[in-house]
Amino acid sequence: MEEKFEVNAEDVELESATFKESARRSQALWEDLPKNPARYRVLTGERPTGPLHIGHLFGTVANRVRIQNLGATTFIVIADYQVLTDRDTADAVGANVHEAILDYLASGLDPENGRTFFFSHSHVPELNQLLLPFMSLVTTAELDRNPTVKEEIRAAGLRQVNALMYTYPIHQAADILFCKGNVVPVGRDQLPHLELTRKIARRFNERFSPKAPVFPLPDALLSDLPVVLGTDGQKMSKSRGNTIMLKMTAEETARAIKGAKTDTDRHITYDPQRRPEVANLLRLVAICTGESPEVAADRIGDGGGGKLKAVLTEALNANLAPIRERRARYAEDPAYVRTLLRKGVERAREEGIATLEQVRKAMNMDHGLD
């Protein structure tokens, strides 16, 4: 691997300072959101690389639903261009976009409320055009340093890095800023991208529009939800085959849990350090039942891995049943799903057109034509 994709100590230090500051601002946001939801415009999303699993649901999507229900306007970007950062083609991307929307709807994101919008960024040209001015605000050295990009390059085992991979954090800034998003619910791995977005917003305002800032400085909204691991105790990911997807049936879920890794100690205890796999299953039980992982462990006691899995299967299937029922209902009506996407794209374009107009004016590029 080329040296420039190594993470160095200085970056790690910087990262942890950023993390503390971001966590502080995130906490303040959690306090203010319920009081002043109209102040906030939420933008978040993911790459359409496959169906959502319970890691997504419990880790981020549940949070989005919570924020949506507090009354904030919520834009969900389906980042289809980003799929091409670590692979050459994306044959399934169309199907995946459709599946992602089914998963969102099933989880409780609800465009019928008039405040929640789904869109794919490939269909919002004004968003993509922001990439050009934004690129002038970022140095190549800053792109070189991004630890999340480095990690993705390593994880994908790329020997050549395409320019989309290299620049996608700037594209992500455009995803957030085209609609003036000021709250971005994300996991910790996305913080470097959010820092870059804030830099871009700040630099644009200072350089082109010092008297009347065009862009807000968005904040990350970090989740207090526990990280859900896969059935083998590793990070949950489709490529490892260790996921439990929302679209699975109750029987498939039971089978996946049966195959989960545990250990040989029959007395179940919550010990994340020494028993990470058992702890993961206990946390899942806890998320579903609302009890603490320790209480769940006590309840299972000497029942061993078998009892733990039986308890989890029942709790998880009960929790997912209404989600799956809704998903099946929406799956019967693909035309409706397309209509929702079309409406989301329309609304996103309105936002993008208005922002791009402001951006051109600020840069002295409107030429009297806007």
Count of residues interacting with ligand TRP (CB under 6 A): 14
Query: In sequence order, what are the residues at sequence separation of 6 or more whose Cβ sits closer than 8 angstroms to the Cβ of residue 82?
Result: 47, 164, 168, 171, 172
- Cite the DSSP H helix spans in the chain: 9-32, 54-56, 62-70, 93-107, 125-129, 131-135, 140-145, 147-155, 163-177, 191-208, 250-258, 276-289, 293-300, 304-331, 334-362
Cα dihedral across residues 142, 201, 68, 331: positive or negative? negative
Nearer to ligand TRP, 47 or 283 (CB): 47
The answer to whether residues 68 and 113 touch, using CB atoms and an 8 Å cutoff, is yes
Question: Strand order in 183-185's β-sheet?
Answer: 116-120, 73-78, 41-46, 183-185, 219-221
Q: Does 280 bind ligand TRP (CB under 6 A)?
A: no
Among 175, 195, 219, 277, binds ligand TRP (CB under 6 A): 175
- Interior angle at CA 292, CA 287 and CA 297, nearest 5: 105
Interaction with ligand TRP in 254-273: which residues (CB under 6 A)? none
Cα-based distances in Å from 145 to 6, 133, 169: 9, 21, 12
Selected from 57, 65, 77, 109, the binder of ligand TRP by CB under 6 A is: 77
Report the alpha-carbon distance of residue 76 to residue 109 in Å, rounded.
9
Distance CA 16, CA 220 (A): 15
Residue 79 contacts ligand TRP per CB under 6 A: yes
Residue 22 touches ligand TRP, criterion: CB under 6 A? no
Residue whose beta carbon is closest to ligand TRP: 79
The one segment of 76-84, 254-262, 292-300, 320-328 that binds ligand TRP by CB under 6 A? 76-84
Is the CB of 184 or the CB of 337 nearer to ligand TRP? 184
Q: Which stretch binds ligand TRP (CB under 6 A): 16-24, 41-49, 336-344, 356-364?
A: 41-49
Which CB sits closer to ligand TRP, 165 or 278?
Answer: 165
Regarding 74 and contact with ligand TRP (CB under 6 A), the answer is: no
Strand, coil or helix: what is 120?
strand
> Is the CB of 178 or the CB of 208 nearer to ligand TRP?
178
- Provide, rounded to whole angstroms, the least separation between the CB of residue 43 and ligand TRP: 6
45 touches ligand TRP (CB under 6 A): yes
Residues that bind ligand TRP (CB under 6 A): 43-47, 77, 79, 82, 172, 175-176, 184, 186, 190
